[in-house]
Amino acid sequence: MLAILLRHPRCSALLAGFLSAAGFAPLSLWPVTLACFFALLLLIEAAPDRRTVFTRGWLFGLGHFTLGLNWIAHAFTFQDAMPHWFGYGAVILLSLYLAVYPGLAALTAWWANQRMRSGGPLPLILLFAAFWIATEYLRAVAFTGFAWNPLGAVLLPTGVAIASTLIGTYGLGALVVLASGALMLASRRHFASAPAILLPLCVIALWGQIAAAPQAPAGAPRIRVVQPNIGQGEKYSPTLEAEHFRAYAALTGAPRPAPRLIFWPEAAVPAYLDMEPEWRTRLAGLLGPGDLLMTGGDKVYYKEIDKGLYVDRVLSGANNSLWVVTPDARIAARYDKAHLVPYGEYLPMRSILQPLGLSRLVPGDADFWPGPGARSLDLPAALGRPAMKMGVQICYEIIFSGHVVDRANRPAFLFNPSNDAWFGSWGPVQHLAQARLRAIEEGLPIIRSTPTGVSAVIDARGHVRHALSLGRAGFLDTSLPPARPPTLFSRTGNLAPMAFLILLIAVAIATRESRR
Q: Given a cut of 90, is residue 375 above it in pLDDT?
A: yes
Q: Which of 182-191, 223-232, 274-283 comes out lowest in average pLDDT? A: 182-191
What are the backbone angles phi and psi of residue 510, rounded to the nearest 5°?
-70, -25
The confidence score (pLDDT) of residue 363 equals: 55
pLDDT tens per residue across span 157-175: 999 999 999 999 999 999 9
The confidence score (pLDDT) of residue 80 equals: 55
- The verdict on whether 337 is a catalytic residue reads yes
* Chain centroid offset of residue 432 CA: 8
Q: Given a cut of 80, is residue 374 above it in pLDDT?
A: yes
- Please list, residue by residue across 481-500, b when 16 or more beta carbons sit within 10 angstroms of its beta carbon and e when fewer do: bbbbeebebbebbbebbbeb
User: What is the mean predicted confidence (pLDDT) over 65-72?
Assistant: 96
The confidence score (pLDDT) of residue 12 equals: 97
pLDDT tens per residue across span 243-299: 999 999 999 999 988 899 999 999 999 999 999 999 999 999 999 999 999 999 999
pLDDT tens per residue across span 414-436: 999 999 988 889 999 999 999 99
Active-site position among 266, 345, 441, 442: 266
Confidence band for 365, pLDDT divided at 50, 70 and 90: low
Long-range contacts, stretch 86-92, CB < 8 angstroms, 24+ apart: 91/66, 92/66
Q: Residue 41 in contact with residue 57, Cβ under 8 Å?
A: no
Active-site position among 45, 136, 299, 337: 337
Q: What is the DSSP letter of 20?
A: H
- Residues 6 or more apart whose CB falls under 8 angstroms from that of 141 comprise none
Q: Given a cut of 80, is residue 113 above it in pLDDT?
A: yes
Helix axes 122-141, 100-116, angle to 10 degrees: 140
Cis preceding linkage at 454, omega within 30: yes
Mapped onto helix, strand or coil, the DSSP state of residue 276 is coil
- The verdict on whether 266 is a catalytic residue reads yes
Cβ–Cβ contacts within 10 Å for residue 19, how many? Answer: 18
User: What is the mean predicted confidence (pLDDT) over 366-375?
Assistant: 90
What are the backbone angles phi and psi of residue 82, rounded to the nearest 5°?
-130, 150
Cβ–Cβ contacts within 10 Å for residue 358, how many? Answer: 16
Q: Given a cut of 70, is residue 100 above it in pLDDT?
A: yes
The confidence score (pLDDT) of residue 74 equals: 83
- The verdict on whether 11 is a catalytic residue reads no
Distance CA 370, CA 269 (A): 19
86, burial (CB in 10 Å: exposed 0-12, middle 13-18, buried 19+)? middle
Please state, in angstroms and as integers, the Cα–Cα distance from residue 353 to each residue in 82, 144, 347, following that order.
12, 18, 8
Distance CA 393, CA 49 (A): 44
Active-site position among 395, 397, 441, 442: 395
Confidence band for 359, pLDDT divided at 50, 70 and 90: low
Q: Given a cut of 80, is residue 82 above it in pLDDT?
A: no
Confidence band for 227, pLDDT divided at 50, 70 and 90: very high
Domains annotated on the chain, with CATH: 2-212+494-514 (no CATH), 222-483 (3.60.110.10)
- Residues 6 or more apart whose CB falls under 8 angstroms from that of 400 comprise 140, 145, 147, 339
The confidence score (pLDDT) of residue 306 equals: 75
